[in-house]
Structure 1
Amino acid sequence: MRARSALILAALLAWPGAAPAATATIAEGVVYLETDGRPGRGPDEPGVAGVLVSNGRELVRTDAQGRYRLVVAQGQTVFVVKPEGYRFPARANGLPDFWKHYFPEGSPPLRYGGIAPTVPEHWDFALERAPATPAHGFEVLVFSDTQVKNLREVDYYLRDVVLPLAGRHAATFGTTLGDLVNDDMSLYGALDAVTGRLGVPWFPVPGNHDVDQDATRDEDAGLSWRNAYGPDTYALEEGGASFVFMDDVVHLPGQRPSYIGGLREDQFAFLEAYLATLPPERLVVLGFHIPLFDEDGRETFRHADRERLFTLLARFPRVLVLSGHNHTQRHYYHGPAEGWHGAAPLHEYNVGAVCGAFWSGAPDAEGIPDTTMADGTPNGHALLRVAADGSYALEWHPARVPQDDPAFTRAMALHAPRALRRGAYPSYGVYANVFMGDDGTEVEYRIDGGPWRPMRRVERPDPRLVLENVADDLAETPRGYDRSPEARPSMHLWRGVLATDLAPGEHHVEVRARGRWVGQAAASTTYRLVEVAAD
């Protein structure tokens, strides 16, 4: 056994950039079924066979007794890939307990602590039996960019998003797609306590505002985040689907911008090894912070890394990418132009932010900022539904919807002028911002119960947010702590022309939308035609 361990260590140390022998070890442990409710493995708690365990590069499976062996080097984290039918016990802070750091030398000194010298007492991991996945499938809460700057914003997050959901959802687990905080990692504890009230295991990924800004190299930029949340790249399996959550923020100290989207070599090694364990018909869901598509003509995710990633995913016909970062919302379909050559386009859902527009805008009666995003999407969260056959559905849930306003529903918000001159040239529009709309969404409108007519998708700012911008401009003093963002072209805005040749008075406008991500949705508004005498 010693000879085999020596060979493994020798192989490890032969790798380029390998750690010194003093900082490498063999992790030998057991993945076992927790049954007695006490810490540590009890004498009657059996090992679990066939469970994947990783050091962030390689994967091994536990044997019939639940045992595994892995080489671990300084700075690596050993973790378990959650198998179907099981869940992780919770740590003292409520987060899933599925990882152990190996940092005998500690990490470089960092403002937010990094990782102190750490050597695990043992390498065992516990699993608990999970309730059976319902026949209809399961749900996942998908958050992005909570991005709190202080405890006041932690309270916004609590009252605006978490409390309305707590005890009222059926999700199996949840994720936050990066930017949990806005550079202040001392807020993680308070944030986690709020998220914990949702009552489900939470699996976040880091964002560009979760990095150690004082790190002098990318390899160290995620250490304080890892100290709180474990591996920055990992996987879990649920209901016939595989979820891979990955840090895709490449820290570029001293440069402008100070980061770009991309993946490290160890992440590619882990992903390649993990995907090799999956059948091609399996649904693969990847969670990132930075989107894979370019934004404003800039390379926001390294193209070479994207093409390499797409090559690894090519044999899977069912792939969903979830991303955050932009504080807007859209569906993007990758094709040959981005290096994707699958039979069908690869779907990326760029999720809107929990904090919306960074908790900005005029406050409501409860003191919570309006925080509508720059594309007119209200802040909120997404829900992913995965069916037993591997198909999936997505929903957007605004945090707040005005009561008794038929023009603003959970699916869309309308804008129309209040009054027009009767007989004016018909060039004025009613706008429908369909929050989950894409190119395949059909949006129609009718006036006073007349025939349904198609609305045209336009890429322009949502007039509803433009009005907020004007109100902020005209205010003598700030209307909130931070003003609303400047409206930018929305990817899910439709326009229809309002008739001006109808009778004077009020006219009723109905809008309906149908689409894969929208389902069927409706909203309504009114406008008036007024007789205006000629001079």
Structure 2
Amino acid sequence: MQRRNFIKNMGLLSAVFGVSAPAVFAGTPKENEDYSFRRVSGRINCEGKGLEKVVVSDGFSVTQTDAKGNYVLEAHYDARFLFYTLPSGYEIPNEKGIARFYMALKKGQKQQQADFSLVKAKQDDTRHAFVVWADTQIKTEEDAQKLLTISAPDAHTHIQKLMDRPVFGIGCGDLVWDNFDLFKDYREAVAMTGIPFWQVIGNHDMDYGARTDDASQESFEAQFGPSYYSFNKGKVHYVVLDDVFFIGAGHRYIGYLTETQLRWLEKDLSYIPQGSTVVVALHIPSNTGDKRRNKRKEEEMGGVLTNRKALYELLKPYKVQIVSGHTHWNEVWEKDNITEHNLGTVCGAWWSGPVCGDGTPNGFGVFEVAGDDISWYYKSTGYEKEHQLRLYKPGADKERPQAVIANIWNHDKRWTVEWFEDGVAKGKMEQYTGYDPSAAELYEGAALPQQRKWIEPILTDHLFQAVPAAGVREVRVKATDRFGHTFEERIQL
């Protein structure tokens, strides 16, 4: 069809320019390959009544249902799913917490029916909340048991405090650590939280036996459906992207969005009014301060989204929050219309200690939505939400032996950090880049940690120092976040 004609035309061009077709193409298409488009039609309803203007996609094309809830779409020959963008005001369809919003497309079937029935939400979702699990990353049964007996119950307890409004979760990639047998444990952990979860693919959720990136999502898709899609809740539009691009060798990948995804996103956003709030979830962060902190000449291609400018350009008309994982540190940055939350992980330092490499406790992000405004905090596993900083006595940091150190892991430029000597205000603490003392004690050196010795502490910007005067008995630190919430810790000297 279209592709066959393209190949035929390329053959003619080859003859004109004196270049043989085999020099352009690595091989010729098999006779039984089918490059025809497929007609998919269906209806989306609630209690038998068709729902109008529900966005439907195959990951390539995007359309909407008509006044009776019907749609017709010419599905791309490479499309693997037909899915819809959940409209606001409806329950998230799920199977024991795993979001189900799609139907698999069959190869070779020229026509297919895909109908969906939605359920009206019991609560107004203009006000809602969501939690983000970054890197549950279970590799062994022991890791899985920690997730199931510590992290998931802790999340369930905290989520119950948010249930005066609709709540959902996002698993922000690296759900497992290359051990796909443990997807069952991840699914069980999700079910324990009591809320539906949407999933993001991470680099450890990919099939590294695939020939190219195109097939590297197969195991993930068998569990969770498409690796990029969108949904709505209240006044907010949510987009999940697959920015882990397998380069076809070993376990190597780069942070990259394909042209197919960017074109789909452009079509998806065409239905969203400019000025709206958009939340983007992806595994590899779009950007971090790692290059600056470590004085690198180049960014690590597997550490950030290499073609982020293309993403930012599409998001320019919106108020944007990005949530990401991958790094095993916590960092919040903002520029122009974008705020990114590169979240600390559920697994901490790969289940080898109670903190990430930057000293952020094992935990997850919590985001509270009111209309099109979003506020947030970091929830540390085993602590109440008020636990937002940790203090260290002088001597904890060998490079600053006289200083009291504060680690404020969810700090951003709109926080203020003040300190007091025996109740007397001393002004703002000095921010610096360094290593968290706990992370250094737990992970520094070839012999630590015992379970996974390759783990090392990570440079971070969310550290603060102050040198108390001689004879001071107590130092108090008061941190105020951008929303006016204050958190205090005291340390006796």
TM-score of the two chains, using structure 2 as the length reference = 0.85
Alignment match of 1:411 (pick from 376, 384, 388): 388
Alignment match of 1:99 (pick from 102, 106, 123): 102
**Which region of structure 1 is more displaced relative to structure 2, 437-446 or 221-230?**
437-446
- Does structure 2 conserve the Cα–Cα contact (< 8 Å) formed by 1:208 and 1:259? yes
User: Which residue of the partner structure matches residue 10 of structure 2?
Assistant: none
User: Which residue of the partner structure matches residue 267 of structure 2?
Assistant: 273
User: Which residue of the partner structure matches residue 329 of structure 1?
Assistant: 330
User: Which residue of the partner structure matches residue 82 of structure 1?
Assistant: 86
What is the one-letter code of the residue matched to 2:44?
Answer: V
Alignment match of 1:139 (pick from 125, 129, 151): 129
C-alpha separation in 1, matches of 2:327 and 2:100:
30
Q: Which runs of 5+ in 2 are unaligned?
A: 8-24
- Does structure 1 conserve the Cα–Cα contact (< 8 Å) formed by 2:125 and 2:233? no
**Cα 1:134–1:243, aligned 2, differ >3 Å: closer, same or farther?**
closer
C-alpha separation in 1, matches of 2:443 and 2:100:
45
- Does structure 2 conserve the Cα–Cα contact (< 8 Å) formed by 1:162 and 1:195? yes
**Cα 1:79–1:519, aligned 2, differ >3 Å: closer, same or farther?**
same
User: Which residue of the partner structure matches residue 155 of structure 2?
Assistant: 165
C-alpha separation in 2, matches of 1:484 and 1:415:
25
**Cα 1:415–1:210, aligned 2, differ >3 Å: closer, same or farther?**
same
C-alpha separation in 1, matches of 2:52 and 2:338:
34
Question: What is the deviation of 1:293?
Answer: 1.3
- Does structure 1 conserve the Cα–Cα contact (< 8 Å) formed by 2:477 and 2:490? yes
User: Which residue of the partner structure matches residue 476 of structure 2?
Assistant: 510
User: Which residue of the partner structure matches residue 358 of structure 1?
Assistant: 350
Alignment match of 1:249 (pick from 240, 244, 247): 244
Question: What is the deviation of 1:299?
Answer: 4.5
Aligned residues: 454
Aligned to 2:81, the other structure's residue is in SS state strand
C-alpha separation in 1, matches of 2:484 and 2:144:
30
After superposition, what is the alpha-carbon deviation per residue over 1:51-83, rounded to whole angstroms, capped at 9, x for unaligned?
111000111111111111111224421001000
What is the one-letter code of the residue matched to 1:70?
Answer: L
User: Which residue of the partner structure matches residue 375 of structure 2?
Assistant: 393
Q: Percent of aligned pairs with the same residue? A: 27
C-alpha separation in 1, matches of 2:337 and 2:88:
28
**Cα 1:461–1:304, aligned 2, differ >3 Å: closer, same or farther?**
closer
What is the one-letter code of the residue matched to 1:467?
Answer: E
Question: What is the deviation of 1:346?
Answer: 1.9
**Cα 1:21–1:480, aligned 2, differ >3 Å: closer, same or farther?**
closer
User: Which residue of the partner structure matches residue 413 of structure 2?
Assistant: 439
What is the one-letter code of the residue matched to 2:49?
Answer: P
Question: What is the deviation of 1:304?
Answer: 6.4
**Cα 1:14–1:47, aligned 2, differ >3 Å: closer, same or farther?**
farther
Is 2:62 the counterpart of 1:59?
A: yes
What is the one-letter code of the residue matched to 1:447?
Answer: E
C-alpha separation in 1, matches of 2:3 and 2:121:
36
User: Which residue of the partner structure matches residue 285 of structure 2?
Assistant: 291
Question: What is the deviation of 1:482?
Answer: 3.5
What is the one-letter code of the residue matched to 1:350?
Answer: N
User: Which residue of the partner structure matches residue 314 of structure 1?
Assistant: 316
Question: What is the deviation of 1:345?
Answer: 4.8
What is the one-letter code of the residue matched to 1:199?
Answer: G
- Does structure 2 conserve the Cα–Cα contact (< 8 Å) formed by 1:291 and 1:323? yes
Aligned to 1:209, the other structure's residue is in SS state helix
C-alpha separation in 2, matches of 1:235 and 1:14:
33
Aligned Cα RMSD in Å?
Answer: 2.9
User: Which residue of the partner structure matches residue 111 of structure 1?
Assistant: none
C-alpha separation in 2, matches of 1:303 and 1:158:
31
What is the one-letter code of the residue matched to 1:416?
Answer: K
User: Which residue of the partner structure matches residue 213 of structure 1?
Assistant: 208
User: Which residue of the partner structure matches residue 118 of structure 2?
Assistant: 127
C-alpha separation in 2, matches of 1:242 and 1:179:
23
User: Which residue of the partner structure matches residue 464 of structure 2?
Assistant: 494
**Cα 1:202–1:491, aligned 2, differ >3 Å: closer, same or farther?**
same
C-alpha separation in 1, matches of 2:348 and 2:97:
26
Alignment match of 2:357 (pick from 374, 382, 401): 374
Question: What is the deviation of 1:21?
Answer: 4.4
**Cα 1:418–1:429, aligned 2, differ >3 Å: closer, same or farther?**
closer
Q: Which runs of 5+ in 1 are unaligned?
A: 1-9, 36-44, 106-117, 335-343, 362-369, 403-407, 420-425, 528-535
**Cα 1:427–1:180, aligned 2, differ >3 Å: closer, same or farther?**
closer
Aligned to 1:383, the other structure's residue is in SS state strand
User: Which residue of the partner structure matches residue 177 of structure 1?
Assistant: 172
User: Which residue of the partner structure matches residue 143 of structure 2?
Assistant: 153
After superposition, what is the alpha-carbon deviation per residue over 1:259-311, rounded to whole angstroms, capped at 9, x for unaligned?
01111122111100011111112101100100111543414377762111111
Aligned to 1:203, the other structure's residue is in SS state strand
User: Which residue of the partner structure matches residue 367 of structure 1?
Assistant: none
C-alpha separation in 1, matches of 2:283 and 2:316:
21
Aligned to 1:156, the other structure's residue is in SS state helix
C-alpha separation in 1, matches of 2:136 and 2:252:
21
What is the one-letter code of the residue matched to 2:130?
Answer: V
C-alpha separation in 2, matches of 1:230 and 1:21:
23
C-alpha separation in 2, matches of 1:162 and 1:119:
43
**Which region of structure 1 is more displaced relative to structure 2, 516-525 or 479-488?**
479-488
What is the one-letter code of the residue matched to 1:357?
Answer: A
After superposition, what is the alpha-carbon deviation per residue over 1:6-48, rounded to whole angstroms, capped at 9, x for unaligned?
xxxx678778899954764211111121x4xxxxxxxxx2221
User: Which residue of the partner structure matches residue 531 of structure 1?
Assistant: none
Is 2:439 the counterpart of 1:456?
A: no
**Cα 1:120–1:380, aligned 2, differ >3 Å: closer, same or farther?**
farther
Question: What is the deviation of 1:464?
Answer: 2.5
